[in-house]
């Protein structure tokens, strides 16, 4: 189920602009202080979280990241300012370079799309998950504990606990 929000109203644009500025500062200078500013956007950021330069999020306020999670370079997070567009990443996760977590989308119907509204659905990533380089995770997806998503995959359906998926669209190729 996707929930609508207006990404173009004034308060939403201002929130997004503020988050983008914090990301820009971090990416220019990925210091501990600038990392603290980024994790300060989040609803929760656990201990030992490492985020490499090139990180981008739209709002951050609904994001939760568990302990000891590593997010590699050039991660793009299209999150939403509403609870239904939350992105939750568990403990001990490895997020590869150039990963995209896309909890936001637009209507396929051209008449509906003219309203310029966004659809949002949560992304939930369990504990001890490895998401390989260049993976795209779409809105409304849950990835279970201990799962592995192979590099370059596009995740369009939930990933079960203790499985390895890969491809476009990602399909189960093995158990962990």
Query: Is there a contact between 53 and 33 (Cβ–Cβ < 8 Å)?
Result: no
Question: What pLDDT does 7 receive?
Answer: 84
In the set 2, 44, 56, 106, the catalytic residue is 106
173 — phi, psi (to 5°)?
Answer: -120, -15
Position 21 pLDDT exceeds 90: yes
Q: What is the mean pLDDT of the chain?
A: 95
Question: What pLDDT does 1 receive?
Answer: 56
Question: What pLDDT does 141 receive?
Answer: 98
Position 22 pLDDT exceeds 80: yes
54: left (phi over 0), alpha (psi -120 to 50) or beta: left
Question: What pLDDT does 107 receive?
Answer: 86
Position 84 pLDDT exceeds 90: no
Query: Is there a contact between 143 and 128 (Cβ–Cβ < 8 Å)?
Result: no
Domains of the chain listed by start with CATH number: 3-175 (2.160.10.10)
Query: Is there a contact between 18 and 58 (Cβ–Cβ < 8 Å)?
Result: no
Question: What pLDDT does 44 receive?
Answer: 97
Reported as a pLDDT band with limits 50, 70 and 90, residue 116 is confident
How distant, in Å, are the alpha carbons of 3, 72, 84, 95 from that of 98?
A: 26, 8, 24, 9
Does the annotation count 56 as an active-site position?
no
Question: What pLDDT does 76 receive?
Answer: 98
Position 16 pLDDT exceeds 80: yes
Residues 6+ apart with CB under 8 A from 87: 62, 63, 64, 77, 79, 101, 103, 122, 123, 124, 125
């Amino acid at each position: 189920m996707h929930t609508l929000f207006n990404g173009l109203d004034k308060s939403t644009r201002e929130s997004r602009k503020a988050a983008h500025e914090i990301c820009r500062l971090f990416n220019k200078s990925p210091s501990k202080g600038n990392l603290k500013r980024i994790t300060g956007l989040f609803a929760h950021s656990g201990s030992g979280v490492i985020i490499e330069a090139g990180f981008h999020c739209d709002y951050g306020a609904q994001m939760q990241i568990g302990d000891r999670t590593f997010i590699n370079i050039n991660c793009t997070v299209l999150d939403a300012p509403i609870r239904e567009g939350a992105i939750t990443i568990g403990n001990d996760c490895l997020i590869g370079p150039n990963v995209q977590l896309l909890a936001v989308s637009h209507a396929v119907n051209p008449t509906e799309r003219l309203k310029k509204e966004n659809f949002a659905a949560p992304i939930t990533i369990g504990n001890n998950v490895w998401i390989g380089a260049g993976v795209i995770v779409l809105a409304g997806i849950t990835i279970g504990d201990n799962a592995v998503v192979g590099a370059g995959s596009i995740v369009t359906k939930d990933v079960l606990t203790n499985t390895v998926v890969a491809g476009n669209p990602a399909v189960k190729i093995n158990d962990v």
